[in-house]
Amino acid sequence: MQPMAQRLGVDHQGLQQFVTTSTWDTTAVRARLAGRAVEVVDPVAWVVDDTGFVKDGYGSPGVARQYSGTLGKVANCQIGVSVHAVTDAASCPLDWRLFLPESWDPVKAGPAAVKAAKAKRRKTLINAPRAASATDAGGVDLEAVARVATETARARRRACGIPDDEGHRPKWMLAVEMIDGLAGRGLRPPVVAADSGYGDSGPFRAALDERGIAYSVQVKRETLAHPADATPVERTRSARGRPPTRTSPDYPDDAVSVAEHVREAGRDAAVTVTWREGSKGTLSSQFVFLRVRPAGHRIPRAPDGTLPERWLIAEWPDDQPEPVTYWLTSQPADTEPADLIRTAKTRWRIEHDYRELKTGLGLDHFEGRSWTGWHRHVTLVTAAHLFITLLRHDPKAAAPA
């Protein structure tokens, strides 16, 4: 803020108050920004992802020791979840949510702390049983652990001004909430793309299915699926003649990993697909396309027990012994392979956004410790990003020499 204030010739404290203590509504501002962004970008997809903000202390809202994809490791950081409108040529954030770990939720902080204490105790007993018995002969007071964690969560929330109705929710749920909020403003994604952090969540994919939103998401190689031609059958009595505990039809064979499906198809099933022109030339690779039925107890089934049929895509370059990336997509069965890959690969734009938002526009420079301040900061950075995007789309805009 100090460089901005110096350039404008104003007191930087006024800018700080604009972010921290003024009364403007971030939700309304971001809604207007999102509408303008969709109008300008004309997205081919919305991309969901999250980014980390490294912190030294523990006073910032949502900060905790947690995994950050930005850092590629567990670190003391905040995590922001965002939805972006993207094309190959442009992109812009539409909305943001600050992820709250369980340690920041007074309802879940106690049980989470007890679970962590038990896990630590088990690890100590395995690695150093004598030391554990000597230092903790009486065991851990789990009630005290839960009580302290709960009170700590409440105190930290009060200090940061976190609303009472904001608690811990999985990141995929925050993404769905943003999609629903934007839908309330008349904005709807052509298709949603995401990495495996979201794609591996059956409930996330099911939520998009329930809303009639197509998706193209990465998944891990261990993700289970049935072949497309698999058919559920009526459950039979056990070998002892007992009736089945469940009456709905089920698949007779166990689901196998998507990696196994692709291995069974073999490298000969791979075809070369070109999806766009990159900065270093034409982008192309080899892919296997299969129709499968993703499995999982949280995936809704039809009344006859049938699981939904989806595209399974595996990128298997000629110089690799095994596939390197897997996707599941609910796009129509007659979608052209190049269109499937273009959508699957469009997630790269959000990495471009995060890099520009941080290195050029100060997304990760916020040092305040209030819930409202964080949301106002990301809203203002989003406005700056949209302004730059508008300039790029204006052929008459003045460009530096």
- State both tokens at 93: 């954030």
As a whole number, mean pLDDT of residues 186-194 equals: 97
As a whole number, mean pLDDT of residues 230-251 equals: 72
Q: Would you state the pLDDT for residue 249?
A: 87
* Residue 50, CA atoms < 13 Å, CB-side half-sphere: 27
- Let me know whether 277 and 259 are in one domain: yes
- Let me know whether 211 and 316 are in one domain: yes
Q: Are 126 and 133 in contact (CB under 8 A)?
A: no
Asked whether residue 329 is assigned to any structural domain, the reply reads yes
Total domain count, the chain: 3
392: confidence class by pLDDT, cuts 50, 70, 90: confident
Instruction: List pLDDT tens digits, range 115-160.
Output: 998 888 888 777 766 555 544 544 678 999 999 999 999 999 999 9
Asked whether residue 354 is assigned to any structural domain, the reply reads no
As a whole number, mean pLDDT of residues 291-301 equals: 89
The CA distance from 316 to 262, in Å, is 9
- Let me know whether 262 and 230 are in one domain: yes
- State both tokens at 224: 């289970």
The CA distance from 99 to 166, in Å, is 10
Length of the chain measured in residues: 401
- Let me know whether 175 and 229 are in one domain: no
Q: Coil, strand or helix: which one is 206? A: helix
- Let me know whether 123 and 268 are in one domain: no
- Let me know whether 41 and 181 are in one domain: yes
- Lowest pLDDT segment from 36-40, 51-55, 243-247, 352-356: 243-247
* Structural domain for 113, as ranges: 109-160
Choose between 129 and 212: higher pLDDT.
212
- Let me know whether 175 and 252 are in one domain: no
The CA distance from 285 to 319, in Å, is 10
398: confidence class by pLDDT, cuts 50, 70, 90: low
Q: Would you state the pLDDT for residue 14?
A: 84
Asked whether residue 400 is assigned to any structural domain, the reply reads no
Q: What is the DSSP string of 19-82?
A: HHT----HHHHHHHHHHHHHHHH--SEEEEEEEEEE-SSS-STT-EEEEETTTTEEEEEEEEEE
Instruction: List pLDDT tens digits, range 343-358.
Output: 999 999 999 999 999 9
- Let me know whether 371 and 304 are in one domain: no
Q: Would you state the pLDDT for residue 3?
A: 81
Q: Would you state the pLDDT for residue 8?
A: 87
Q: Are 182 and 159 in contact (CB under 8 A)?
A: no
In sign, the C-alpha dihedral spanning 248, 254, 258, 264 is: negative
- Let me know whether 255 and 333 are in one domain: yes
- Let me know whether 45 and 142 are in one domain: no
Asked whether residue 123 is assigned to any structural domain, the reply reads yes
Asked whether residue 63 is assigned to any structural domain, the reply reads no
* Nearest Cα to Cα of residue 381 among 49, 33, 52: 33
- Let me know whether 142 and 290 are in one domain: no
- Let me know whether 266 and 367 are in one domain: no
Asked whether residue 104 is assigned to any structural domain, the reply reads no
Report CA dihedral (69, 74, 75, 77) to the nearest 10 degrees.
50
Asked whether residue 241 is assigned to any structural domain, the reply reads no
Asked whether residue 147 is assigned to any structural domain, the reply reads yes
Q: Would you state the pLDDT for residue 216?
A: 98
pLDDT of residue 323 exceeding 50, the answer is yes
Q: Would you state the pLDDT for residue 137?
A: 43
Q: Would you state the pLDDT for residue 133?
A: 53
